Amino acid sequence: MGKKIIKILITLFCICYFLSGIYTIDPDSFGIVTRFGKIVADRVPPGLHYKLPFPIASVYKIKTTTNYKMSIGFKLLDNIRNIPPKPEESQWLTGDTNIINIKMMIQYTICEPSKFLFNCEEPQFILRRAAESYLTQLLGTLGVDDVLTIKKSDVQTDLKALTQDILDYYDIGILIVSVNLMSVDPPEDVLYAFQDVSNAKADREKAINEAEGLANEIIPNARGEARSLILQSEGEKNKRISEAKGEAERFLKHLQEYRKAPEITKERIYLEFAEKVLPKMKKYIIDTKKGQKPSTRIKFFQ
């Protein structure tokens, strides 16, 4: 009976031992199976799988769809607890020898699980040191005003590209999703002075933009009025030239007729003028010579 019990126990142990090789992979993960330290299965998909029991084979489960976060310049737990970071963690030096406080968040994913696990030791450490190194390099080429205002987005873009290049060089299977400068502020001792300078620059930019907007409104209107006046003047000029030419042609025709018959032409012109003037004037008919037939010439008086 003792031997049978021992055999049953050994059998149950063997069954449990071999059944211990059954494992599952979560939907958001991949598995890497190693046998005596050598990778035998890379990127095992989600689901139920089997491997040889430990210590013959081992399985590592890596979440590849999760965005991991890494803080630079502060600690995540301290930030949640509203504990301010230490100066040596958050202070950086700019190219014009000014000190600024920076809080930065890096989001990354694990794109190659096997490389992340086995190509280097502590890949997160490499990511942190590479980001800090390139951030120091980028800030050293910029002035404090540029970092606080117009160059912030450029720093984020350049830092992401440079850090990704070094990660690809070491081939550690990390893909940077985003780099976000959460805050870029001067030290508290000079914060109010920086705010005054920033407000003054903002007021200057506002005044410049308002002046440019007013100029863009006035100049086109002035140009339009000038163009209208020019066209109006040209139209008046052409009108007067045409009228002058017409008067000149009419005068020349009258002159030709006058040279042919001076007396008749003079009388006709006189009568045409009388037709225009008489309806508007008082008329007096005067007999200049008593006892004689009145002259047919009419004298006009206003």
Give the residues of the chain that fall short of pLDDT 70. 1, 190-191, 194, 281-302
pLDDT for 292: 53
Q: Give the helix/strand (H/E) hosting 172.
A: none
pLDDT for 282: 67
pLDDT for 297: 47
Instruction: Give CA–CA dist 64/21, Å, rounded.
Output: 23
Radius of gyration of the chain (CA): 50
SS3 26: coil
pLDDT for 13: 80
Q: What does the buried/exposed string (b/e) look like for 132-170 if buried means 16 or more CB atoms within 10 Å of the residue's CB?
A: eebbeebbeebebbbbbeebeeebbebbbebbbebbeee
- 62 forms beta bridges with 30
Instruction: Give CA–CA dist 302/296, Å, rounded.
Output: 19
pLDDT for 284: 64
Contact 281, 299 (CB under 8 A): no
pLDDT for 100: 85
pLDDT for 163: 92
Instruction: Give CA–CA dist 100/133, Å, rounded.
Output: 16
Looking up tokens 């071999």 gives: 18
- φ, ψ of residue 57 to 5 degrees: the values are -130, 155
pLDDT for 43: 78
Verdict on whether the full-model pTM lies above 0.85: no
Cα–Cα distances in angstroms (integers) from residue 256 to residues 247, 265, 269, 272, in the given order: 14, 10, 13, 17
Q: What does the buried/exposed string (b/e) look like for 282-294 if buried means 16 or more CB atoms within 10 Å of the residue's CB?
A: eeeeeeeeeeeee
pLDDT for 164: 92
pLDDT for 296: 46
Instruction: Give CA–CA dist 182/187, Å, rounded.
Output: 15
pLDDT for 298: 47
pLDDT for 289: 61
Peptide bond connecting 85 to the previous residue in cis, omega within 30 degrees of 0: no
